[in-house]
Structure 1
Amino acid sequence: MLHGERLDRPTYTLITSLDGGTSDVVLTDHEIFGIQVVQKTVSLLGVPDGVATSEPRVLEGLEHDHLVRVREAQWDPDHDEALQCITFTTDFYPGRSLLYALEQGHEFSVRDVLEIVDGILSALVYLHEECGLLHRDIKLGNVMLAADMKHARLGDLALAAAMDPSTGTTEPANATPLYIAPEAAAGALDVRSDLYQVGCVMLELLNGLLPYAEIDRDKVDSRLSEGRRPLSNPNYDPAPWVPANVARVLRKLVAQDPDRRYASAREALRAVRHLRCVGWQRIGGAALVGRWSGKYPPNVPAARARVYEVNAELVEKGKYQGQLLLTARWRNANSVDWRNYAGLTRRVPVEDARELASFFRDVEAKAHSAPTR
């Protein structure tokens, strides 16, 4: 870590080490400012077109409510010079990263996910349109959260590069394989490549972490070299409880063909902001067994909304043993009295994600048709 110019009176004092994946990350006290900051050391070896290598001053000038604030950057004295390591000092965000939150078991509601994605896309509108930069390394670990676990800040621009003014493209970067856009195999990335990575983040926030331990890295590399997505198609399917309109936005973001994605971050942001849906959040269970709750409409005072609940319970006895019993109910937000949707009750095979998705669609339709008080 960096200590400052005076070892007898350091600017930075260590609090703890943080998980930074392949980077060295520490949480420190800034003794002069009286705040906590993060130091992250990254190697710029193999990133000759990155702004951190060619024009590091650009990073200092970036200012947006959804970008991590860079306070300082220094060539790191403790690494081999050949590695071209820079230590960035940034603000500390109490919610840590999206990756950390998911690893700690935090459950994001659909509304939370849309707010987070809104923030990331807002940052990309700024980077793409005002700064002419592609981020090229958007992933769970590079998105920080405020204490409310909703306000997102996009960070780690070590791989960011300026777009060619005439083509709007950059060369591919050595990013995390599971987030690399398929078109990287053709040798050029554009704004739609960043949007693909946003879609990958959105997918894991909605579905849960990918089964990293089970993924064959050789197969991932092979698929990428052929211009395909790094994982097979079923891995990109939204979870059954994801509302249909949200699922459409997600599928468009992670489309294998960049021509099928949104043309710009601004267009994608507009689509996200137009979404109205039940903000489902799992409140118990695992896989397709569990309980979900959500409010609707999203744009009315809390007291005027309705609360909806879906329960998928495993039948343990009788004729339907081994199947899922699906039930739904609702109540006014300011009431404790539930009303059942008896007409929606059904039993389905325990692994039938399609039937569970259909049930959520039916409950969503009930929510959309209910009068707002």
Structure 2
Amino acid sequence: MADDRLVQGRYRLLDTIGRGGMGEVWRALDESLGRQVAVKCLKPMGPRHEPGFLRVLRERFRREARVAAALQHRGITVVHDFGEDDGTLFLVMELLTGRNLSQLMDDNRHAPLPVPDVIEIAEQLTAALAYTHEQDIVHRDLKPANIVRTTDGTVKICDFGIARLNHDIGFTARLTGSGVAMGTPHYMSPEQIGAGTVDHRSDLYSLGCVLYEIATGAPPFNQDDPWSVLVGHRDTAPDPPRTRRPDLPEPYQRIMLDLLAKDPDDRPPDADELGKRLADARHRQGVRGPGDATAPTERLPPWTRGMTHGSPASGARPPRRTVLDRSAAVLTAAWTGGQGAPRREASPAAGTAQPAPSDDAPDSVAALTARLERSHTLARAGRHFEAHQIAAEVLAGRERVLGPDHPDTLSCRHHLAFGLARLGRLEDCCAMARQVAEARARVLGPHHPDTLATRYELAYVQGQLGKWTEALWSYHEVAAARTETFGADHPDTLAARYEVGISLGRLGRGAEALTVYRDLVAARTRAQGADAPETLRARHGLGVSLGRLGRWEEALAEAREVATARERVLGADHPDTLVSRREIAVALGWLGRWADALSIYRQVADARERVLGAAHLDALASRSDQAQCLDQLGRTAEAAALYRRVAALRREYAAGRR
């Protein structure tokens, strides 16, 4: 295939990533969307190949396209397109930056990988297989060369060329009957070797072989003769991994040996159960993982660094950096040859290589970026209409230059959506934010932080609209996804769990909210410390929940402790401190101690007036609290005078807004 060929009028082949007897993998530019991709091509065959054999290869290639395109998971390589061009079948996939596990082992001179790496790879592969098996698909060729660890730490399964749909037995039989090898000897399950029934447990056996190899430096059966390897899988018990790797924790040895059981019934029943066993092993061994709050920052994927939940509906995101990636690009199959790709620009946020701008684009891209920053600046200054107009123009420009699904385009759409909320167009914001979340899930993956950020802020707007049931559901899903991606104690996970508590409270489900806040206080104390502002915020929520359940003595005690801590940490006039002091007054009122409550309400109102101004809405709310308290004490004349003052200030505030 000639260099610089345009496949189907769209994919410009740039250079070869891998080459083998049956095909090639090219780095290519998708000229329609302006992104780099990997194009896998099945070479035209000459008459030396038996026609039946060629038909099987072509059917396998088409099958890989159909199966892989149906899978949408961050642990599965994304397939964008498939077709035939001038007699050549082609498959278009995301261009990965990183190394497959076989290359990692070669880089490490076949020494075992560090135990934390083995554990992290095991957990990510298990999650991907659990998803794949839920779709009723069995990979059947899981091996180190088909597993890529990208530069951001994500582990991805590739090459579904001989994957089997469980219900598609006839097709599988026809393929096997052709004599085409269905698997790789070092990683084949006994039932594959013996032509037995192959189901999802065969993938678990192959996973055991992969984990055994990266943990010990060699596959469980490593003879030079392929037949001896197959006999080993069928008849011989593997050496326990700890005989080769003594520092491997015992629970992980047990898991590997169970995966390598000859009888499928003796293996874990499914990947979900395997995932639970891996989580239990991590917990019992105290092994730090990428989501653990106590783990070093560098164990997290690069796109998690500096990530916070941010201000609701702010649309804020860390500045995007472009770096030169010197890792190899890899599309893994037996025939790719494992050849590296030349250097290219990479986007850390997407986790896949992105195109360097074309020669006529840099000025346009830079100008659009500068204009979007101008929009952000205007929004921060409260000039939301102007900010929205500029963001809309930038979005149109990015769609022209980068394509509608480029991560930077989706970032602009995210900003535009939540700009609508700042303009008071909450329903329009919800509709657009849903579209952005769906697009980000499709392009980046449902658990990518950008996807979750959009869904998180969408939930906040749903709450503003009073759609608390929808908001609760959204927050629950984001919290679960962040737990899986980052770990239970990661700040972003905890932020979502906090909003779950808020939503439950708004729905009157006080007992459930109380449980959420108790767990959250424990998690934040463990992860951030007892005096961290976010820990104190969770404690405040706990106190409010106690009050909603009528447990006012407990609520009062909690409010006093939180107010004291906030004053020490944040200062006496900090808004959070004043909120806690107001909660003390609320509890005192419910306990009938109105004189004590009045003193605190007055202190809070004075502080807010001093800091925010007399006409600020929070200051006015505090004066209203004070007036109500005066009414409860029978001091109606004073209450009436204060109500009149509040009403006048509200009119003044409204006039100023106009």
Cα deviation 1:232-269 (Å, max 9, x = unaligned): 73386652221111111111111222222101111111
How far apart, in 2, do the equivalents of 1:253 and 1:213 lie? 17
Compute the displacement of 1:74 (Å). 2.5
CA contact (8 A) 1:50 1:158 kept: no
Compute the displacement of 1:154 (Å). 0.9
Cα deviation 1:129-175 (Å, max 9, x = unaligned): 2x211111111111122213x3111111111111138x9xx667611
Paired letter, 1:87: F
CA contact (8 A) 1:262 1:268 kept: yes
CA contact (8 A) 2:140 2:202 kept: yes
Q: Which residue of 1 aligns with 2:212?
A: 203
Paired letter, 1:92: L
| 1:65-84 matches, cutoff 5 A | 65-75=74-84, 77=86
Matched, 1:124 2:132: no
RCO (CA 8 Å, sep 6+): is it higher in 1 or 2? 1
Give the alignment's Cα RMSD to 1 decimal: 3.9
Gap regions ≥5 residues in structure 1: 80-85, 280-294, 304-371
Secondary structure at the counterpart of residue 275 of structure 1: helix
Matched, 1:194 2:203: yes
Deviant stretches of 4+, over 6 Å: 19-22, 48-51, 295-298
Match of 2:150 among 127, 146, 160: 146
Q: Which residue of 2 aligns with 1:35?
A: 35
Matched, 1:91 2:94: yes
Q: Which residue of 1 aligns with 2:437?
A: none
Gap regions ≥5 residues in structure 2: 44-52, 297-526, 530-658
Question: Do the aligned partners of residues 117 and 273 (structure 1) sit closer, same or farther apart at CA in structure 2, a change above 3 Å counting?
Answer: same
How far apart, in 2, do the equivalents of 1:110 and 1:246 lie? 10
Match of 2:116 among 111, 114, 128: 111
Q: Which residue of 2 aligns with 1:228?
A: 235
Secondary structure at the counterpart of residue 281 of structure 2: coil
Larger strand percent? 1
Question: Do the aligned partners of residues 61 and 300 (structure 1) sit closer, same or farther apart at CA in structure 2, a change above 3 Å counting?
Answer: closer
Secondary structure at the counterpart of residue 266 of structure 1: helix
Identity of aligned residues (%): 29
CA contact (8 A) 2:209 2:220 kept: no
Paired letter, 2:235: R
Cα deviation 1:8-67 (Å, max 9, x = unaligned): xx6223233336797533333334433332223469858699885469544323211111
CA contact (8 A) 2:17 2:26 kept: yes
Paired letter, 1:228: D
Q: Which residue of 1 aligns with 2:183?
A: 175
Question: Do the aligned partners of residues 141 and 253 (structure 1) sit closer, same or farther apart at CA in structure 2, a change above 3 Å counting?
Answer: same
Secondary structure at the counterpart of residue 242 of structure 1: coil
Cα deviation 1:99-135 (Å, max 9, x = unaligned): 1222122863222222222222212212212x21111
Q: Which residue of 2 aligns with 1:242?
A: 248
Matched, 1:260 2:266: yes
Compute the displacement of 1:213 (Å). 8.9
Question: Do the aligned partners of residues 56 and 11 (structure 1) sit closer, same or farther apart at CA in structure 2, a change above 3 Å counting?
Answer: closer
CA contact (8 A) 2:127 2:271 kept: yes
Secondary structure at the counterpart of residue 121 of structure 1: helix
How far apart, in 2, do the equivalents of 1:152 and 1:127 lie? 14
CA contact (8 A) 1:51 1:161 kept: no
Question: Do the aligned partners of residues 222 and 61 (structure 1) sit closer, same or farther apart at CA in structure 2, a change above 3 Å counting?
Answer: closer
Larger helix percent? 2
Cα deviation 1:326-353 (Å, max 9, x = unaligned): xxxxxxxxxxxxxxxxxxxxxxxxxxxx
Matched, 1:133 2:137: yes
Number of aligned residues: 274
Cα deviation 1:346-371 (Å, max 9, x = unaligned): xxxxxxxxxxxxxxxxxxxxxxxxxx
How far apart, in 2, do the equivalents of 1:160 and 1:239 lie? 32
| TM-score w.r.t. length of structure 2 | 0.37
Secondary structure at the counterpart of residue 145 of structure 1: strand
Cα deviation 1:67-124 (Å, max 9, x = unaligned): 1000122347566xxxxxx432211221131112221228632222222222222122
How far apart, in 2, do the equivalents of 1:52 and 1:16 lie? 19
| 1:321-340 matches, cutoff 5 A | none
